[in-house]
Structure 1
C-alpha cells in the first residue's frame, strides 16, 4: 500500500487557508481579465481541471500550476518581493546566530619568532 502524503490529506490550517485565499484571488484575476477556464488552460498548456483545482486551493495542485497562473495574469513579478531573501528578517537573525564566533585568543603563546 502506498504511503499517503499528510500534507495533501490534511495540511496545517494556516496552509489550507492560504491556499484557499490564493485560489480565490486567482479566480478573481481570471474573471477580471474576462478569461474562461478553457482559455487559461490552453495558455499554460494544461487541462481545465488543473485550473479549477488551483482556484479551489486544493493542496494537490502543483506549485507549477499556481506559478503559471500568476504568469498568465501578469502577476509573477509580485512573487519576487515575497521570495526576496532580504525581506526574511527571521531567517537572517537565525543565520547570524549560527555564525561561528571569533575564536578566543590563547594567552601565553606568541607568534613572534
Structure 2
C-alpha cells in the first residue's frame, strides 16, 4: 500500500487557498469556453472526477490534470517561465551569494602504476 502524502491530506493554508483559486479560475475558463466537464475530460484524456476535483482545488489531484487543463484553455504560457531557472531571480541571487564551487578531494586516483 502506498503511503499518503501529508501535503495531500492537509496542505499549508496558503497552498490550499492557492489551489482553490486555481480551481475556481479553471472552472471560469471552462464555462467561458462553453465546455462541459465531459468534453474537457475527454480532450485531456482523463475522467470527469479528475476535472471536478481540479476545479475544487483538491491537493490530491495530480499536477498533470492541472497542467492538461491549463494547456487546453491556452493558459499554460505564464507557468512555463516558472520552470526556467534563469528567470528565478531569488534562486540566482542565493546561488551567487554562496560562491561555492565543486571541489574534489585531493589524494584520489593517480596515474602512478
Smaller-chain TM-score range?
A: 0.7 to 0.9
Distance 1:2 1:43, change over 3 A: closer
Contiguous gaps of at least 5 residues in structure 1 = 102-113
* Stretch deviating more after TM superposition (87-96 or 45-54): 87-96
* Other structure's SS at 1:79 match: helix
- Quote the residue 2:73 is aligned against: 73
- Quote the residue 2:44 is aligned against: 44
Deviation at 1:98, TM superposition (A): 1.7
Whole-angstrom distance in 2 between the partners of 1:54 and 1:46: 11
- Quote the residue 2:23 is aligned against: 23
- Quote the residue 2:86 is aligned against: 86
- Quote the residue 1:12 is aligned against: 12
Q: Between Structure 1 and Structure 2, whose CA radius of gyration is higher?
A: 1
- Quote the residue 2:106 is aligned against: none
1:29-74 per-position Cα deviation (integer Å, ceiling 9, x unaligned) = 0000000000000001111000000000000000000000011111
- Say yes or no: does 1:61 pair with 2:61: yes
Instruction: Give the TM-score taking structure 2 as reference length.
Output: 0.81
- Quote the residue 2:100 is aligned against: 100
Number of residue equivalences: 101
Instruction: Give the TM-score taking structure 1 as reference length.
Output: 0.81
Whole-angstrom distance in 2 between the partners of 1:51 and 1:63: 12
Distance 1:11 1:44, change over 3 A: same
Deviation at 1:2, TM superposition (A): 5.7
